[in-house]
Amino acid sequence: MSNSTFGRIVHYSKKYWGRIAISTLASVAVGTMDGGFAYMVEPLLRKTFATNDKTIFTLLPIGVLALFAVRAISRFLNDYFIRTAGELAVQDIRNDLYRNSMHLGLRFYHQHPTGSLMSRVLSDVAVMQSGIGNVVTSVCRDGFSAISLLVVIFYRSWELALITFVVIPLTIYSAQKIGKRIKRLSGQSQEKIGDVAAILQETYTGIKVVKAFVLEDWVIQRFRTTTNAYYNFVRKAIKYNSISAPVIEMITSIGIAGVIWVGGSMVMRGELTSAEFFSFLTAMVLVYKPVKSLNNSYNIIQTSIGAAVRVFEIIDEKPELTNAENAVSIERAAGDVEFRDVSFAYDGEKVLNNINLSASRGEIIALVGPSGGGKSTLVSLIPRFYDVTSGVVLVDGTDIRSLRMADLMRQVALVDQETMLFNDTIANNIRYGNFSASDSEVEAAAKAAFAHDFILEMPEGYSTNIGDRGVRLSGGQRQRICIARALIKDAPILIMDEATSALDTESEQMVQKALDNLMANRTTFVIAHRLSTILHADKILVLEDGRIVESGSHSELLKSSGLYSRLHSLQFSNSGTAETRQES
Ligand SMILES: Nc1ncnc2c1ncn2[C@@H]1O[C@H](COP(=O)(O)OP(=O)(O)OP(=O)(O)O)[C@@H](O)[C@H]1O
Ligand SMILES: [Mg+2]
């Protein structure tokens, strides 16, 4: 798994090969210079001390300056280009992650808390980013440094080099062991960060409930427990990270001690000049740093791969619903909707049972019934938020599963129970229903939804930004903007799920009047608890426990004295008292 993950990261980097090539060349320059420097120690010592050559003392400082200037420029090129390449690749990954998640079905979102998804897009990708960016820089540079220094080591004395080589496998072995632990721990700690994000998301968006129920202390405690759980995994990761360097140092020190011991006696026996020995020793001391940081990079790579696995999990997640192979395109449907023997289960338990209904263009179908009866579920099958478990849903006589999904979505305008507004201006929020709508069309839709007047009272009218989740609007105002957004979409099928529940009786009646005109050429599904909303529906379906228990017009249903007439008489007495209270 980790290999293929690594391969995929490489795949994403391919696009930026130009930057990577420049950076690699620069790192070769830096690396070979390290080796060159260690090599130079020998002639330097030999010449300066043996021949007492004066010119070398004037040339040396200039040489050193020149060498380090070239090294500095190379380092910059190395760093800059590889990091930007890494950022660009990670940006592509993040965009792919987001794009794929937008195509996943609602079921996926019910199963994954928003916070944990956000932490994948932000935190996991960031871990990948920092890991890959830092690592690739050092892997090339340190790799070449190590190689060039090893060349010097071998060139000076292969016997001494062998001692070094007994030590290197030991360091690699221990680095690998530690790296594996770190990878596992980092995966776990990233999951904990997901939990932290989930709490943040929940409590920041639900701050009102937190305050109203005085849950502050309780959520603070829960947050502390979660951050502490995160710390516990991070602590272990830090432990292994910190152990790693000392272990490597200890092992290399054995090598250095051995080299000094053996090398010293070789110099005494005259098998090696002292200048050669110092050159060797310089290379050996210098090689220690790149090897250590390569080892460190290995650990960081493990961490990044842990995060990458979680990121690719979402990139690979297949949408539950897809276009059929020969999906049919439609421009604009007439708007006939039919349910044939439809049953549906979210998971396991059936929520809808053998639903049969047909609605033709221009009709208003009202769905009523007790909470949890399946009204929202039923209408969510029309735009194919979910596929039926059995039976078939047809639009204009065609099974919706054989239509192109985007085309089907275009036929349906939805005003949901939840009034979702974007962090944008009011005009744009309405225009999300139809991006090509003109200003006057936006205004017309707002007027039809009885939103025009209050919008004009806003500080900047239609250009007012309503901010995150539209905090500056009342529930009823938000609903009216959502209605305007649905109206401007001008779709042949209109679904209103509790769309007028936050409106007062008067504005509800006004919106209703406006809708009456607009409903003329479309099929409308209305879900409402307030029965007054649906008096004029062509057909009323009473849904209880996922079954249609009654259907007919208002007057027919009243006569049959079933569930509908019971609900109606209950509400009639309730609204009666409410109205008397208002009048008094
Ligand atoms: N995403 C979901 N996953 C699993 N079960 C769900 C999901 N959404 C709804 N249900 C279940 O399906 C049943 C019908 O829910 P639905 O939302 O369709 O009822 P409703 O008639 O719209 O109720 P209300 O009038 O309260 O809006 C309920 O028992 C509910 O628990
Ligand atoms: Mg509902």
Residues with CB under 6 A from ligand 1: 110, 346, 351, 371-377
Alpha carbon distance 82, 92 (integer Å) = 15
pLDDT score for 159? 84
Mean pLDDT for 1-15 is 77
Candidate of 104, 344, 351 to mutate for ligand 1, largest count of ligand atoms within 8 Å of Cβ: 351
Ligand 1 atom nearest 349 alpha carbon: 5
Mean pLDDT for 219-230 is 94
pLDDT score for 227? 94
- What is the per-residue DSSP string for 81-145? HHHHHHHHHHHHHHHHHHHHHHTS-HHHHHHS-HHHHHHIIIIIHHHHHHHHHHHHHHHHHHHHH
Q: Quick check: 307 and 128 in contact, CB under 8 A?
A: yes
Three-class secondary structure of residue 395 per DSSP: strand
pLDDT score for 578? 39
pLDDT score for 582? 36
Burial 486-512 (b: 16+ CB within 10 A, else e): bbbbbbbbbbbbbbbbbbeeebbebbb
- Per mean pLDDT, which of 173-187, 285-299, 348-362 is the most reliable? 348-362
Ligand 1 atom nearest 346 alpha carbon: 4
Query: Which residue owns the Cα nearest ligand 1 atom 10?
Result: 346
15 or 288: which leads in pLDDT: 15
Q: How confident is the model at residue 62 (pLDDT cuts 50, 70, 90)?
A: confident
Say which range, 83-87, 359-363, 425-429, 560-564, has the weakest mean pLDDT.
Answer: 560-564
Question: Which residues have a Cβ under 8 Å from the Cβ of 466 and sit 6 or more positions away?
Answer: 421, 423, 424, 425, 426, 429, 472, 473, 481
Write the DSSP symbol of residue 542.
Answer: E
Ligand 1: centre distance to CA 346 (Å):
9
446 or 510: which leads in pLDDT: 446
pLDDT score for 471? 53
Task: Give me the CATH code for the 2-316 domain, please.
Answer: 1.20.1560.10
- Locus of tokens 């011991």: 261
Reported residue count of the chain is: 584
542 bridge partner residues: 368, 550
Whether the pLDDT of residue 224 is over 60: the answer is: yes
Ligand 1: centre distance to CA 395 (Å):
23
Mean pLDDT for 226-249 is 88
Mean pLDDT for 530-552 is 85
Mean pLDDT for 80-84 is 87
Structure tokens at 328: 């049919």
Q: Where are the domains of the chain?
A: 2-316, 327-411+525-584
Residue 469 Ramachandran class (φ > 0 left, ψ -120 to 50 alpha, else beta): left
In single-letter form, the type of residue at position 51 comes to: T
Query: Which residue owns the Cα nearest ligand 1 atom 4?
Result: 346
In single-letter form, the type of residue at position 286 comes to: L
Q: How confident is the model at residue 104 (pLDDT cuts 50, 70, 90)?
A: very high
Q: Distance between the two ends of the chain, CA-based, in angstroms?
A: 73
Ligand 1 atom nearest 106 alpha carbon: 1
Structure tokens at 484: 């305007």
Candidate of 377, 381, 495 to mutate for ligand 1, largest count of ligand atoms within 8 Å of Cβ: 377
Query: Which residue owns the Cα nearest ligand 1 atom 5?
Result: 346
Which helix (H) or strand (E) is 472 found in, with range? none
In single-letter form, the type of residue at position 284 comes to: M
Ligand 2: centre distance to CA 526 (Å):
11
pLDDT score for 382? 95
Q: How confident is the model at residue 572 (pLDDT cuts 50, 70, 90)?
A: low
Candidate of 104, 320, 344, 346 to mutate for ligand 1, largest count of ligand atoms within 8 Å of Cβ: 346
Whether the pLDDT of residue 472 is over 70: the answer is: yes
Alpha-carbon separation of residue 12 from 80, 83, 182, 229, 306 (angstroms): 18, 14, 24, 33, 17
Query: Which residue owns the Cα nearest ligand 1 atom 14?
Result: 374
Whether the pLDDT of residue 580 is over 50: the answer is: no
The class level of CATH for 327-411+525-584 reads: alpha beta
CA–chain centroid gap for 310, Å, is 10
Whether the pLDDT of residue 401 is over 90: the answer is: yes
The answer to pTM > 0.85 is no
Q: What is the mean pLDDT of the chain?
A: 85
* Helix residue ranges per DSSP H, 417-451: 426-431, 439-448
* pLDDT per residue as tens digits for the range 300-324: 888 888 888 889 999 999 988 888 8
